Amino acid sequence: MRLIDHVIAGGGPTVGGRRGPVFNPSIGTVQAEVALGDRAVLDRAVAAAQAVQGEWAATNPQRRARVMFEFKRLVEANMQDLAELLASEHGKVVADAKGDIQRGLEVIEFACGIPHALKGEYTQGAGPGIDVYSMRQPVGIGAGITPFNFPAMIPMWMFGVAIACGNAFILKPSERDPSVPVRLTQLMLEAGAPEGVLQCVHGDKEMVDAILDHPAIGAISFVGSSDIANYVYQRGAANGKRVQAMGGAKNHGIIMPDADLDRAVGDLVGAAFGSAGERCMALPVVVPVGEGTAERLIDKLLPEIEALKVGTSLDPAAHYGPVVSAQHKARVEDWIAKCEAEGGQILRDGRNFTPQGHEDGFYVGPTLIDHVTPEMDSYHNEIFGPVLQIVRAADFETALSLPSKHQYGNGVAIFTRNGHAAREFAARVNVGMVGINVPIPVPVAYHTFGGWKRSAFGDTNQHGMEGVKFWTKVKTVTSRWPDGSAEGGNAFIIPTMG
What pLDDT score was predicted for residue 17? 84
Active site residue 280: yes
What pLDDT score was predicted for residue 10? 85
What pLDDT score was predicted for residue 341? 98
pLDDT for 159-199, tens place per residue? 999 999 999 999 999 999 999 999 999 999 999 999 999 99
Mean pLDDT to the nearest integer, 49-55:
98
The one catalytic residue in 112, 165, 280, 339 is 280
Helices 94-111, 61-77: axis angle to 10 degrees equals 170
Domains and CATH numbers, the chain: 3-247+455-477 (3.40.605.10), 252-436 (3.40.309.10)
- pTM, whole model, 2 decimals? 0.94
Reply yes or no on whether the pLDDT at 364 is more than 60.
yes
Mean pLDDT to the nearest integer, 451-464:
94
Average pLDDT over the chain, rounded to an integer: 95
